[in-house]
Amino acid sequence: MTKPLNNAVLSLTPDKLLDFQHSVANIEGLVSLTFGEPGFATPAPVKKATIQAIEEDRSHYGDSQGEPKLRSAILDYMADRYDLHYPSIDNVIVTVGVTEAMQSIFKTLLAPGQGLLIPDPAYGSYFSALSLAGGTAVPIDTAKTAYKLTPALIDETMAQTKEDVHAILFNYPNNPTGVTYTKSELEELAEAFKRHDLWVISDEIYSELTYEGDHYSMGKLLPDQTIVVNGLSKSHAMTGYRLGFILGPSTLIQQIQKVHGPLVFAVPTFIQDGAVAALQIPKEDLSFMKVEYQRRRDYAKKFLEDLGFELVAPMGAFYLFAKLPADLGVNGWAFATDLAHQAKVSVIPGAGFSFFEEAQKFIRISYAADMAQLQEGLQRLKKYVDKQRAA
Ligand code: PLP
C-alpha cells in the first residue's frame, strides 16, 4: 500500500506516559505504583444490574445522548452530592468515560489551531487528545504558586499568549499533584474565567476523593460557561466500564451532542444500567474507599518525606507529586527508569505531565493500588535510594 496516512495523526507526539509505562511493563516482578487504577472491586449492585441488563437483552442501540433513566440518575446524584442543579436531562450527555467527553468537547469548542489553557502539570492524555482535536495547548506554569492555579496566573498567561484562546481545562482534585481548591479560591478563579470570557471545561473526575473539606463544583459558580465533566471510573472503581458524563447549558450540550453522536453513537445500554445502580448506592456504602485511600496517602506521604522527598500538598485524588531529593543528583526520567530496572518498582517521571523544566525534578506515585503493594513498593524505593546515597 502506497497511499499516505493522515499527516495530522502521523505528527502526533506519542503519549509520553504510555511510552514510559510500556517500556517498564515487562520487567518481571515489578511493583507498579504508576496507574490511577482503583484497587477495589466494582460494587456488587453494579455487577448485578449489569448482568441482569444483559440477560434481559438490554444490548441494542440506546439513546445517543444517554438513556433517559441514567441521565435522570446523574441529575439526582449531582444535586445530592454537590448541590449542582440542572433543569432537565437535556443538560446531560453520557460518554465513554471522561476520555471521550474531552474529545467531543474539544472538537465542539475549538476550531483548528485555537488555544486551550491548561494549568500545568496536567493529566498527560489531555495533550494527545487536544492534538487529535486540532487545538493548541497553552500551558500555565503553576510551579511557583504551590501548584495552584491563581487569577494572576490566568491574567499573565492571557496577556502573554499569542494564541486565540477560547477555553480553559481545569482539573481538580488534580492529577498528578493531588491539589484541590476551597470555595473562596474557586470564586476568585470564576471571576477570572468570566473576565477573560473563557469556556471552562471542569474535569472533576476525582471529586469524591477530596480529603480536606468538601468538593465544590465550578458548575455551581459559573453555570453559563462551565462544562462539568465527571464519571464513575474513580469514585466507583469502574474504570473498565468506560462511563463518564458531561453537564452544561443545554444549548452548548446540543452542540457537543453533534460531535458525540457520530463519534460513538451511544454508550452500551447494559453498561448504562449498571451505572444507574452505581449512582443509587448510598454515599456511606462507598466511603470505605475514601477512608482507605486517605490511610495510604498518609502512610506514603510520611514515608517519602522521611526519605527527603518534598511533596506537593496532596489534598485529593490518589497521587503524590514528589520532588526528588537534590542529593540524588538525577532527573525524574533517569530516576524512574533506573528504579524500575534496579529495584523493580515503577513510578512515573514528572515530565510526563508537563511542558516546563521544573517537572523534570519530580516523580508521580500512585497510591490507588492496595496497601501491601504500596508498602512493598516504597520499601524497595527506600532500599534503592539508600544504596544510591551510600555509593
Ligand atoms: N481525567 C483525569 C484527570 C484522569 O486522571 C483520568 C484517568 O486517570 C481521566 C480523566 C480518565 O477518565 P475516564 O476513565 O473516565 O476516561
What does the angle CA 271 – CA 89 – CA 63 come to, to the nearest 5 degrees? 45
Q: Which atom of ligand 1 lies closest to the CA of 243?
A: 15
Residue nearest to atom 5 of ligand 1 (CA): 175
Predicted confidence at residue 12, as pLDDT, reads: 62
Beta strand 115-120 with 165-171 is parallel
Check pocket membership of 316 for ligand 1, CB cut-off 6 A. Answer: no
Residue nearest to atom 12 of ligand 1 (CA): 98
Q: Which three cell numbers stand for residue 185?
A: 479560591
User: Which letter does DSSP use for residue 59 in this model?
Assistant: -
Give Cβ neighbours of residue 53 (< 8 Å, ≥ 6 apart): 59, 269, 270, 273, 274
Out of 125, 171, 227, 230, give the residue to mutate to test ligand 1, the one with the largest number of ligand atoms within 8 Å of its CB: 125
User: Which letter does DSSP use for residue 358 in this model?
Assistant: G
What is the maximum span of the chain, computed from C-alpha positions, in angstroms?
64
Out of 169, 233, 241, 243, give the residue to mutate to test ligand 1, the one with the largest number of ligand atoms within 8 Å of its CB: 233
Which of 263, 286, 300 minimizes the C-alpha distance to 33? 300
Give Cβ neighbours of residue 41 (< 8 Å, ≥ 6 apart): 237
Predicted confidence at residue 18, as pLDDT, reads: 75
Q: How far is the CA of 235 from the centre of ligand 1 (A)?
A: 11
User: Which letter does DSSP use for residue 316 in this model?
Assistant: B
Residue-wise DSSP of 254-307: HHHHHHHHHHHS---HHHHHHHHHHHTS-HHHHHHHHHHHHHHHHHHHHHHHHT
Q: How far is the CA of 98 from the centre of ligand 1 (A)?
A: 6
Predicted confidence at residue 2, as pLDDT, reads: 83
**CB-CB contact of 300 with 374 (8 Å):** yes
- pLDDT of 365 > 70? The answer is yes
**CB-CB contact of 179 with 163 (8 Å):** no
Q: How far is the CA of 38 from the centre of ligand 1 (A)?
A: 12
Check pocket membership of 273 for ligand 1, CB cut-off 6 A. Answer: no
pLDDT band at 5 (very low <50, low <70, confident <90, very high): confident
Compute the distance between CA of residue 386 and CA of residue 302 in angstroms, rounded to an integer. 17
Q: How far is the CA of 271 from the centre of ligand 1 (A)?
A: 18
Compute the distance between CA of residue 9 and CA of residue 157 in angstroms, rounded to an integer. 28
Residue with cell 453555570: 223
What's the rounded mean pLDDT across residues 290-297? Answer: 97
Compute the distance between CA of residue 10 and CA of residue 18 in angstroms, rounded to an integer. 17
What does the angle CA 208 – CA 33 – CA 388 come to, to the nearest 5 degrees? 135
Bond prior to 176 in cis (omega within 30° of 0) = yes
Check pocket membership of 98 for ligand 1, CB cut-off 6 A. Answer: yes
What's the rounded mean pLDDT across residues 243-257? Answer: 98
What's the rounded mean pLDDT across residues 45-69? Answer: 97
Interface predicted TM-score of the whole assembly (ipTM), two decimals = 0.99
- pLDDT of 319 > 90? The answer is yes
Compute the distance between CA of residue 313 and CA of residue 311 in angstroms, rounded to an integer. 6
More confident residue, 3 or 78: 78
Q: How far is the CA of 206 from the centre of ligand 1 (A)?
A: 9
Q: How far is the CA of 353 from the centre of ligand 1 (A)?
A: 13
Out of 174, 175, 241, give the residue to mutate to test ligand 1, the one with the largest number of ligand atoms within 8 Å of its CB: 175
**CB-CB contact of 326 with 316 (8 Å):** no
Check pocket membership of 239 for ligand 1, CB cut-off 6 A. Answer: yes
What's the rounded mean pLDDT across residues 343-369? Answer: 95
Helix then strand then coil, in percent of the chain rounded to 5, is 50, 15, 35
Check pocket membership of 179 for ligand 1, CB cut-off 6 A. Answer: no
Residues 163-205: pLDDT tens digits?
A: 999 999 999 999 999 999 999 999 999 999 999 999 999 999 9
pLDDT band at 26 (very low <50, low <70, confident <90, very high): confident
Residues 61-112: pLDDT tens digits?
A: 999 999 999 999 999 999 999 999 999 999 999 999 999 999 999 999 999 9
- Domains, the chain, ranges and CATH? 10-41+284-390 (3.90.1150.10), 44-282 (3.40.640.10)
What's the rounded mean pLDDT across residues 337-356? Answer: 94
Bond prior to 173 in cis (omega within 30° of 0) = yes
Amino acid occupying residue 255: Q
Q: How far is the CA of 329 from the centre of ligand 1 (A)?
A: 32
Check pocket membership of 205 for ligand 1, CB cut-off 6 A. Answer: yes
Which of 18, 215, 221 minimizes the C-alpha distance to 125? 18
Q: Which atom of ligand 1 lies closest to the CA of 122?
A: 3
Beta strand 348-349 with 115-120 is unpaired
